[in-house]
Every structure is written in C-alpha cells, then in structure tokens.
Amino acid sequence: MKKKGGNSYQAIVLRKSQFSCWKEKDPNHKKLRAPGKDDISDKNSWQKCKSIIEEVRNAPKDKNPIPEVYNYFSGEPKLKWQKKYFDLPNIPHFHFVKLK
C-alpha cells in the first residue's frame, strides 16, 4: 500500500488493470463473482483463501517473510519493472519485485 497508495487492500486489488481476473473475459472472473459456490472443492479452496488472507492481514509487520515487496508476476519478465525480480523457494511459478 506504500508504493501504490490506497487505504485498503480492496482499493488496491480492485484498481483497473491490477489483476486480470476482474476482466469479464478472464476464465476466473465467473468464479470470483460467486466464490465457493461450485462444489465442495471450490468451497474448501475459498475457505483456505480466506484463512490465508486473514493470516496475512493480521500478521505483525516483523513476521513478514517478504517485506517491501512491491509486486509479483509469473512467466518471463517483459516489462521494465519486472527486470529486478527474485524468486522464493517455496513459491513456484511466481517472481517478486521489491520497492525501490
């Protein structure tokens, strides 16, 4: 929230172009409109997501394993801000970028 501004996680994640899942053409968009409603697997996944969100939101700042992380992405770096990324051993398929 420091770098991008905003007074809540919701304000940041709902920003235009922040996450592709909010676009109606994205395959995940329909599920996000009614999370946990498809089947028991979907319900369990949604409960796990909510648990993780609460854990992150309520964690003390000194327990953050990746402080000052500005953004993340998957795939090969294509944009200028993605060039100085780092990876974490327990989080496959994603790259992280710290604040400057």
Average pLDDT in the chain: 84
Identify which of 16-25, 67-76, 77-86 has the greatest average pLDDT.
Answer: 77-86
Same domain, 49 and 92: no
Tokens of 87: 């990876």
Within its chain, how far is the Cα of 85 from the centroid?
Answer: 16
Indicate the range of 3-7, 10-14, 33-37, 38-42 predicted with least confidence.
3-7
Domain count, the chain: 2
Amino acid identity of residue 41, one-letter, is: S
The CA distance from 10 to 16, in Å, is 12
- For residue 91, what are the domain limits? 67-100
Same domain, 53 and 74: no
Same domain, 53 and 79: no
Q: pTM of the prediction?
A: 0.58
Same domain, 46 and 2: yes
The CA distance from 56 to 58, in Å, is 6
